[in-house]
Amino acid sequence: MTRPSLSRPSASATSLWGAAALTAIAFTLGGAGAGGPEQDKPSTVLVESGRDAYLRYCASCHGVDAHGKGPVAETLRTPPPDLTRIAKRRGGKFPAGEIAAFIDGRAMVSAHGPREMPVWGRILGEKIAEGTTEDEVARGRIDALVAYLMSIQE
């Protein structure tokens, strides 16, 4: 399985992640990020940042179109789910807080069974600016991914 590059991000990527992190904080404080109202629409900046992160970290398994047919999918024991149908599988509601916790992966959720997916909370927590903590960075990046996933629901 191909591992994502953990090289130092470029200045433009750092700026985008910084903007996304600030937007994610506002998104979370506004109630939509960690389990608030499920219908709130995230900002365009947050969705675009989440799309970039999705393509870098998730598309190899879930596919560029998020339908679960990425180039690595057939090598996995459990097929990756279609991420465009999360809300449909949940009766029309997008469970942002649950999806964020699952992506983070640092807290095991026994109901989800064994994990094949990487623990992204550690990987996404790479510092991007002096004075930020791993958890702040990971939370911002995960919120951006959740915003993107929310935006592609069918």
Is 1 contained in some domain? no
Report the CATH number at residue 68: 1.10.760
Is 101 contained in some domain? yes
Q: Which two tokens stand for residue 15?
A: 């700026």
pLDDT of residue 29: 39
Query: Residues 52-99: pLDDT tens digits?
Result: 999 999 999 999 999 999 999 999 888 999 999 999 999 999 999 999
| pLDDT tier, 139 (very low <50, low <70, confident <90, very high otherwise) | confident
Is 44 contained in some domain? yes
| Tally of structural domains, the chain | 1
Query: Which range marks the domain in which residue 30 is found?
Result: 11-151
Is 4 contained in some domain? no
Contacts of 46 (CB under 8 A, 6+ apart): 20, 23, 24, 27, 143, 144, 147, 148
Is 96 contained in some domain? yes
Number of Cα atoms under 13 Å in the Cβ half of residue 83? 26
Q: Which burial class, exposed, middle or buried, applies to 1 when counting CB atoms under 10 A from its CB (0-12, 13-18, 19+)?
A: exposed
pTM over 0.75: no
- Residue pair 37/66 in contact (Cβ under 8 Å)? The answer is no
